[in-house]
Each structure stands twice: as structure tokens, then as C-alpha cells.
Structure 1
């Protein structure tokens, strides 16, 4: 069995939408998003960015 790797790229508008959604979430919910994606990919990067800005620890 092989694993196909794909690269997901968010355009500027989509990234801003994700940032806005993360800004509306509780600290706990932001860490849940980060954990669900395993801290990887563009969503993981944006969740990590939100955690850093808000000083959220896992």
C-alpha cells in the first residue's frame, strides 16, 4: 500500500478566513484544531500562529 502525499496551499482569502475563524474560537478549540491536523499543513501553521499570538500552550 502506498501513501499519496499532496500539498495543500491556501490562497490569501482562504487563509484570512481561517485566521478569522480561529480568532473566534476559544483557546481550547484552537489547540484541538492544531492537534486534529497534527500541527501540519497550512491549517496547522495558522493554528500554531494563533496559539503563539494568544500565548496558548498545549
Structure 2
């Protein structure tokens, strides 16, 4: 069964993947858009951690 926390995290991952794919085709900066995805997920569930998004942004720089 899907819990709220797991659902929010799955939607966050899907949103970040979508942002990355769009950015590859457009060639634009994606870091601010990823932060927006994280912020929206964080509003729905306070347990969404900062580490995953920060690691992704750091690795993709």
C-alpha cells in the first residue's frame, strides 16, 4: 500500500527526471527548477530530505 510519504517521494523523483529530460532538449539551467520540485514536495511532506536533491544538483554541475 502506498503511504503519503512514499507517494510524495515517488512524485518528486518523477518530477526531477522530467525536469532533467526537458533541460537536456532545451539546454537550459535546471537547478532552480529542481529546487522548485523539491520545495513543492517538501510542502506536502516534511520528511522529504534535502540530501537527495542537493546530491543530485552537486553531481550534475
Give the structure with the higher percent helix: 2
TM-score, normalised to structure 2's length? Answer: 0.40
Pair member with larger Rg: 1
Bigger RCO (CA 8 Å, 6+ sep): 2
